[in-house]
Structure 1
Amino acid sequence: MTDSSTSSPRKARRIAKDWLEIAGKVYHYRRDLLPADELMELTEARAELKRVVKEKPNEVKPYEDAIDRLEPILKKTGGYYYPKDSKADWLETLLVMTIVALGIRQFYFQPMKIPTNSMYPTYHGMTTEVYDDPAEEPSGVWKWVRKLGRGTQHFELKAPASGEVVWVWPSQEDAIAGRSMFVIPSQKKPVWLSVGGQSVQANVPMEYDPRPLLEDLVQQGRARETIVNGHRAIATGKQVQAGDTMLSWDILTGDQLFVDRMSYHFVKPEVGDAVVFDTTNVPGMSDGERGKYYIKRLVGTEGDTIEIQPPVVLRNGKPIEGADAFAKNAAQEGEYEGYLRGDDPQFRGSPSRYPGDMFTVPEGNYFALGDNSDESLDSRFWGFVPERSMVGRAGFIYYPISPRWGLSE
């Protein structure tokens, strides 16, 4: 007997519709599997409940009678669809949530984590805080606040012996297979120190820039190059005793944001947008970077004439406008250090290597620069970004909790 004896006719009708939905699934998905007699029972009981729902009686009993007839038939014929256990319900809910999430990611908002500091200080990649004094290290509640709110990871390396600290540069072969968020496969690399012929290491994210750690170790005027086990190394001049803390530092996670994938279906990217693009089809991209997603500032669209006169970018002969970062770089305001030419000789395809170089952005392409020109590999080096590579524009920084949280610049 269904638990509807105290229900109003309206509520009983709503419950009956739920039963019809279950019966419909069983009928449509299992009718080819059911014996003829069971299929007939299901068809007749389903038709009877449909009739009652359509007639809208002013009493509860007709609904109860029709449901009571249908329920034992569903138990016999329902298979996966009835009765459902909690595991089946959970799996179905998970599947629906996954499909919805994939749809949102594909067409509306895609999450992205910024690993490097090519757009610093507008957007932060992974940054470093070194602790020279143990008393400076966060502890207790504050340590967990930083971990949860700022995404910090703490590392510490102690001296395995007494002597001079030697910084060892790892090679590509030293990459280590690891896990991100305990699940997602990722690669890590070692921060590798040697003292008295004994080595210790901490495994950090592959995109992390460890140079601030080296700068903290090196003693002024005492650093020198050396070799450790065939690896290029730097003897820092810093002396330690066995058991001393050589390095203690936090890595703060890069900004995590939602990319607006929808807008560029209706409007073209504009100069000043912080754009996200797929590097797969960027002609000058190195094989190691191809296929990744980059975020840069859009500087030129098709037909624009671009020239870099440090610290300013000229667009069509005038200082570029369209984003605060352009003006701040031109004025070298705060941590914005100004735009540089792409004069690194290893990048032969750069359209802006030499003073006075001026170029026009080809049809169907864009020119993009990092806000942190000195630390950015961008269109100065690998050339133009094809229009078809555009994914979207930066929308909202949702993590970590910092002054940059909120709508993207």
Structure 2
Amino acid sequence: MIGYFAKRKLKKQLKEYLHMARHARHMREDIADPADLAALIEAEAVVLEIQKTGKGDVERAVQTLEEAANRVYPFARKTPMMEWTETLIVALGAAMAIRAFFFQPFKIPTGSMQPTLNGITVEQQAEPGLFDNPLTKFPKWLITGTSYKEIRAKASGRFMQRNVRGDRDKIIITIGGKEHKFPSYLQEELRRQIAERSAQQRTSEPYYNEGDVIVAAKVIAGDHILVNKMKYNWMKPERGDISVFSTRHLDHPQIRKDNFYIKRMVGLPGEKIQIQNHRLVADGEVVSEPPMFETIATDPKYSGGHSTTPGSRLETADDFIQLGEDEYLMMGDNTKPNMSLDGRFFGGVPRNDFQGPAIFVYWPFRDHWGVVR
């Protein structure tokens, strides 16, 4: 009779042999000889029976299993590097398949969906904090999504407003004949700190010495979400969905054709959409379902509901957007001027351009972490 500990050790060893055999079969079953595969499966069955009952010729069963596995996947090929490489390739293939057909990650760069979802946000921070050192700044960022960022003058010279230029992604200023690039999310803080320096020097064109801090701030990463790419293959998009869509068919000078946007679905195919008294109106009826639309209209966090905007297709309460039979209207939850370049400007989005609805915020681990609502 095999003792308890001996039996436990035996099961562990047999489990390792079985793992080795299954790995050989999975890696080579598409090109191995069918007879060799059949012999390997039979040898696995014998070892499984011994593992289950504790009875049988273990040594012979293991030898047979090793020989069968070697015929399917020769030992000469099974170097540690080869096994790790093959495992990595399989893992990458699985990840790419999941990304392509099931779930895909996206990040939110702007504040158009605030406060439902956050884009990159900036808070005042004049100098590095306790954890903003080379040893701890990465763990801090990984957990909280926050980091300290500062940009210093590359040369001595004056800041001059006429030399400022840029686009939706970046701002470029020239000091001392050298260009300084700032990500667009630092725009407000940059403007504030330049104004502060101007007041200190009592001039509209403050002077910087080489190495002076132009802007310093705490940067908080935007929400990173998972999108369900399968849902719209089986179900129609619904009003209230927060969805990701391609910009390839959007006609607007500020929108690149190779980008993706995330907005809330406010209009359905065939509807006539207006904004009246800060409420969405579809075919003459105020939109109140799902309940999130009531929240946007009444909760002070949302700045008083949806807004008509100069320069858009909905400048006044009388303006409307008529959606086609295959179009959906998308808007940000924050429709204050300059906060959301959305359907008020570019109109409807074709059904085929949708990736799917956002379902989960997976990073950073802050207030929005969890299911998207």
Q: Output the TM-score relative to the length of structure 2.
A: 0.76
> What is the match of residue 65 of structure 1?
60
Does residue 380 (structure 1) correspond to residue 309 (structure 2)? The answer is no
Question: Is the alpha carbon distance of 1:291 and 1:285 closer, same or farther for their aligned partners in structure 2, counting shifts above 3 Å?
Answer: farther
Where do 1:81-100 residues align within 5 Å?
A: 84-100=78-94
Q: Contact 2:277/2:317 (CA < 8 Å) preserved in 1?
A: no
| Aligned pair partner of 1:115 in 109, 121, 124 | 109
Q: Contact 1:19/1:67 (CA < 8 Å) preserved in 2?
A: no
- What SS does the aligned partner of 1:92 have? helix
User: For each residue in 1:200-251, what CA deviation from the matched residue of structure 2 results, as whole angstroms up to 9, or x when unmatched?
Assistant: 63554xx6352332133225998xxxxxxxxxxxx84445566543321232
Q: Contact 1:311/1:329 (CA < 8 Å) preserved in 2?
A: no
Higher-Rg structure is 1
Question: Is the alpha carbon distance of 1:15 and 1:265 closer, same or farther for their aligned partners in structure 2, counting shifts above 3 Å?
Answer: same
Quote the Cα distance in structure 1 between the aligned partners of 2:115 and 2:214. 29
Q: Contact 1:279/1:292 (CA < 8 Å) preserved in 2?
A: yes
Quote the Cα distance in structure 1 between the aligned partners of 2:263 and 2:327. 14
| Aligned pair partner of 2:188 in 194, 211, 224 | 211
> What is the match of residue 260 of structure 2?
293
Q: Which runs of 5+ in 1 are unaligned?
A: 32-38, 176-187, 223-234
Quote the Cα distance in structure 1 between the aligned partners of 2:147 and 2:349. 34
Where do 1:119-130 residues align within 5 Å?
A: 119-130=113-124
| Aligned pair partner of 1:139 in 130, 133, 148 | 130
Quote the Cα distance in structure 2 between the aligned partners of 1:80 and 1:92. 14
Q: After alignment, is 86-95 or 52-61 more displaced?
A: 52-61
Amino acid at match of 1:156: E
Amino acid at match of 2:243: V
| Aligned pair partner of 2:243 in 275, 284, 290 | 275
Q: Contact 1:301/1:367 (CA < 8 Å) preserved in 2?
A: yes
Q: Contact 2:18/2:47 (CA < 8 Å) preserved in 1?
A: no
Deviation at 1:372, TM superposition (A): 1.4
User: For each residue in 1:102-144, what CA deviation from the matched residue of structure 2 results, as whole angstroms up to 9, or x when unmatched?
Assistant: 232233321110011111221111111233x44xx42237973
Q: Contact 2:121/2:220 (CA < 8 Å) preserved in 1?
A: yes
Where do 1:198-347 residues align within 5 Å?
A: 199=178, 201=180, 204=183, 208=185, 210-218=187-195, 236-238=204-206, 244-282=212-250, 284-286=251-253, 288-323=255-290, 326-331=293-298, 333-344=300-311
Question: Is the alpha carbon distance of 1:392 and 1:73 closer, same or farther for their aligned partners in structure 2, counting shifts above 3 Å?
Answer: closer
- What SS does the aligned partner of 2:86 have? helix
Amino acid at match of 1:101: A
Quote the Cα distance in structure 1 between the aligned partners of 2:299 and 2:371. 24
Amino acid at match of 2:95: A
Deviation at 1:43, TM superposition (A): 5.6
| Aligned pair partner of 1:391 in 355, 358, 364 | 355
Deviation at 1:254, TM superposition (A): 0.9
More strand by share: 1
- What SS does the aligned partner of 1:338 have? coil
Quote the Cα distance in structure 1 between the aligned partners of 2:358 and 2:45. 54
Deviation at 1:70, TM superposition (A): 6.7
Quote the Cα distance in structure 1 between the aligned partners of 2:157 and 2:21. 78
Amino acid at match of 1:214: R
> What is the match of residue 360 of structure 1?
322
Amino acid at match of 1:390: F
- What SS does the aligned partner of 2:244 have? strand
Amino acid at match of 2:103: F
Amino acid at match of 1:389: D
Amino acid at match of 2:334: N
User: For each residue in 1:354-399, what CA deviation from the matched residue of structure 2 results, as whole angstroms up to 9, or x when unmatched?
Assistant: 4412343221111111111121111111110111112211111121
User: For each residue in 1:240-270, what CA deviation from the matched residue of structure 2 results, as whole angstroms up to 9, or x when unmatched?
Assistant: 5665433212322111111122332332221
Q: Contact 1:330/1:338 (CA < 8 Å) preserved in 2?
A: yes
> What is the match of residue 372 of structure 2?
408
Q: Contact 2:18/2:44 (CA < 8 Å) preserved in 1?
A: no
Q: After alignment, is 320-329 or 89-98 more displaced?
A: 320-329
Q: Contact 1:155/1:202 (CA < 8 Å) preserved in 2?
A: no
Deviation at 1:9, TM superposition (A): 9.8
Q: Which runs of 5+ in 2 are unaligned?
A: 1-5
- What SS does the aligned partner of 2:192 have? helix
**% same residue:** 26
Does residue 192 (structure 1) correspond to residue 173 (structure 2)? The answer is yes
> What is the match of residue 35 of structure 1?
none
